[in-house]
Amino acid sequence: MAFGVVEFELALLHRMRDVNAAKVEEALEARGASRTELREAHAHWTRLTHVRRGVSALRVALGPPPHRARRPAGSLTCDVLRWPLPTWPGLEYEALLGPGGELWNQWFVRASGPVTTSLADLTPWGFVVADVAASFPGAVQIDGPAPHHWTVDFRHDGEDYRARFVYGLFQRLDRKPDPD
């Protein structure tokens, strides 16, 4: 099986299924893909990333990045590569490379920069981590419970919330559990 954009999107969906299974099922149905294809794409991607390290695997799947830039990160300068993906229009999949070319991060971003939204309009797959941070002052980003998972905790109208992300793409909103 060749591995391209469609298979890469399926591999991303496989990880998103951990947090938002219903949305992934909708996407599979809309594209006429099966759970078997989802698992096969994930397995193929896993094998590919073991053979081709870092951004090399992304380039095999997605081709040359249409967007290349450099960005300061503290005292270092990083390379930024981005690819649009058909399933998520208006967003781009970003790879951040360290000075030695090592892959530091990969996630969805909004190429035009963050947008603000209300709590009521915060919908799965429509927003990225930076959007939620811009929308809710005081929001705190923390690593999630699994690879490529993030959470953003914030307070709104006296309530504490936890926004859950996979590959930087908003998946669902939960009330933040009370500390014990």
Which pLDDT band holds residue 1 (cuts at 50, 70, 90)?
low
Tell which wins on pLDDT, 109 or 177: 109
Which pLDDT band holds residue 37 (cuts at 50, 70, 90)?
very high
Q: What pLDDT, on the 0 to 100 scale, is given for residue 13?
A: 96
Read off the pLDDT of each residue in 5-33 and give the average, rounded to a whole number.
95
Strand arrangement of the beta sheet that strand 159-166 belongs to: 140-143, 149-156, 159-166, 169-175
Q: What is the 3-state secondary structure (H, E, C) of 16-35?
A: HCCCCHHHHHHHHHHHCCCH
pLDDT in tens, 116-148: 999 999 999 999 999 999 999 999 999 888 889
- Please indicate, yes or no, whether the overall pTM of this predicted structure exceeds 0.85: yes
Of 147, 76, 163, 160, whose CA–CA distance to 107 is shortest?
147
Taking the domains of the chain in order of start, what are their residue ranges?
1-51, 65-112, 129-175
Q: What is the 3-state secondary structure (H, E, C) of the chain?
A: CCCCHHHHHHHHHHHHCCCCHHHHHHHHHHHCCCHHHHHHHHHHHHHHHHHCCCHHHHHHHHCCCCEEEEEEECCEEEEEEEEECCCCCCCEEEEEECCCCCEEEEEEECCCCCCCCCCCCCCCCCCEHHHHHHHCCCCEEEECCCCCEEEEEEEECCEEEEEEEECCEEEEEEECCCCC
Give percent of the chain above pLDDT 90.
77
Read off the pLDDT of each residue in 75-99 and give the average, rounded to a whole number.
94
Q: What pLDDT, on the 0 to 100 scale, is given for residue 179?
A: 65
Read off the pLDDT of each residue in 22-51 and give the average, rounded to a whole number.
92
